[in-house]
Amino acid sequence: MKVLALAALTLAPLAVIQAAPKPTNFAPLDYFEENCARCHGPNGSFYGTEFGKGLKDDDALRHIVKEMAEGPGNAPLSPENLEILTDFHRSLRDGKPYIVVVEARKSEKCLILSGEATPDSQITLENGKEVVAVKLEGHKWSVAVPPNFDIEKASLRAVKEGKEKRVPVS
């Protein structure tokens, strides 16, 4: 069983991963700002509303992101981080806000989650029972998870101009 699973993994790298793993320990918006924004604008704002229309499918999107990272961006990405940056581009393509969990830290008293999101979106941490408002400054957010908050089934939600994106926390 184990061997089979491993073989399957080797044969189908990444193609099946649609959402970024959480937390990523990679900050895609910082990366974009450093390596891509001088040509494509802050948070990809110069891509324009037609962005993605000329790209055949998801593979084509991943492919151009990879080429750009290795070429003009001059900052090659690991397969995991390529997938995360591609996921950011999916949000741009689909006209949706973006959100990602970059770090989870345990302090003495509580769990602190932080990450990145599309500027000016409304961020909340939700678990079906409780909703916690999350502070977003620029493209950085962080939240101290309340001690009794059930994090197991929690998700983070970003809303902007009526569009939303949700990512699981764990």
Site for ligand HEC contains 94 (CB under 6 A): no
Site for ligand HEC contains 132 (CB under 6 A): no
Quick check: helix, strand or coil at residue 116?
Answer: strand
Q: Which amino acid makes up residue 6?
A: L
**Dist. CA 77–CA 82, nearest whole Å:** 5
Number of residues lying near ligand HEC (CB under 6 A): 18
Min CB(21)–ligand HEC separation in Å? 19
Which one of the spans 33-41, 101-109, 134-142, 155-163 is the region binding ligand HEC (CB under 6 A)?
Answer: 33-41
Min CB(55)–ligand HEC separation in Å? 5
Site for ligand HEC contains 69 (CB under 6 A): yes
- Using the minimum distance from each CB to ligand HEC, give the nearer residue, 84 or 102: 84
Site for ligand HEC contains 89 (CB under 6 A): yes
Alpha helices in 36-120 (DSSP H): 37-40, 58-70, 79-94
Site for ligand HEC contains 84 (CB under 6 A): no
Site for ligand HEC contains 73 (CB under 6 A): yes
Q: How many helices (H) and strands (E) does the chain have?
A: 5, 7
Site for ligand HEC contains 64 (CB under 6 A): yes
**Dist. CA 105–CA 91, nearest whole Å:** 26
- Using a 10 angstrom Cβ sphere, with 0-12 exposed, 13-18 middle and 19 or more buried, the burial of residue 27 is buried
Binding test (CB under 6 A) with ligand HEC, winner from 21, 22, 42, 47 = 47
Tokens 């400054």 belong to 137
Contact between residue 158 and residue 122 where contact means Cβ atoms under 8 Å apart: yes
Nearest residue to 66 via CA among 53, 56, 52, 81? 81
Site for ligand HEC contains 91 (CB under 6 A): no
Q: Can you give the binding site for ligand HEC, defined by CB under 6 A?
A: 35-36, 38-40, 47, 51, 54-55, 64-65, 68-69, 72-73, 75, 85, 89
